[in-house]
């Protein structure tokens, strides 16, 4: 039986709030920059952060773009994986390839 998508609501909510605070944006500003009507922007973001409502995929993509984080960051099941996703995305292509090579070496049998 597939896992319930509701399992990811608390992760999304917490990481959305963390990323917004790190970006120095108010709930209203984040909502407006993501294309949410200014009169409801603060309320909508607050409800996403509280887990009352879940952003649909298109909105989550826009929020990630505004916050400068990859969409996968919001949904990674493990906090260390979420941090690795953030860090990896900040690397240039050569450094990404180096990290991937290291991971592949660690995973291959000796």
Q: Map out the domains of the chain with their CATH numbers.
A: 5-77 (1.10.260.40)
In this prediction, residue 109 carries a pLDDT of 83
Mean pLDDT of 57-61: 97
Mean pLDDT of 74-80: 94
Q: Does pLDDT of 43 surpass 70?
A: yes
Q: How far apart are CA 93 and CA 14, in angstroms?
A: 29
- Give the confidence band of 1 by pLDDT, cuts at 50, 70, 90: very low
Query: What is the tens place of the pLDDT at every residue in 6-27?
Result: 666 799 999 999 999 999 999 9
Burial 63-90 (b: 16+ CB within 10 A, else e): bbebbebbeebbbbeeeeebeebbeeee
Query: CA distances (Å), 47 to each of 22, 51, 54, 87, 101, in order?
Result: 19, 6, 8, 28, 41
In this prediction, residue 6 carries a pLDDT of 61
Residue in the structure block whose two tokens are 């009169």? 39
């Amino acid at each position: 039986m597939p896992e319930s998508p509701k399992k990811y609501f608390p992760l999304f909510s917490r990481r959305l709030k963390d990323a917004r605070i790190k970006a120095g944006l108010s709930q209203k500003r984040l909502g407006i920059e993501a294309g949410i009507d200014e009169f409801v922007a603060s309320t909508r973001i607050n409800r996403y952060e509280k887990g009352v409502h879940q952003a649909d995929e298109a909105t989550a993509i826009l929020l990630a773009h505004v916050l400068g984080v990859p969409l996968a960051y919001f949904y990674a099941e493990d906090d260390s994986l979420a941090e690795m996703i953030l860090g990896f995305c900040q690397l240039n292509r050569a450094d990404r390839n180096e990290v991937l090579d290291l991971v592949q070496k660690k995973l291959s049998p000796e």
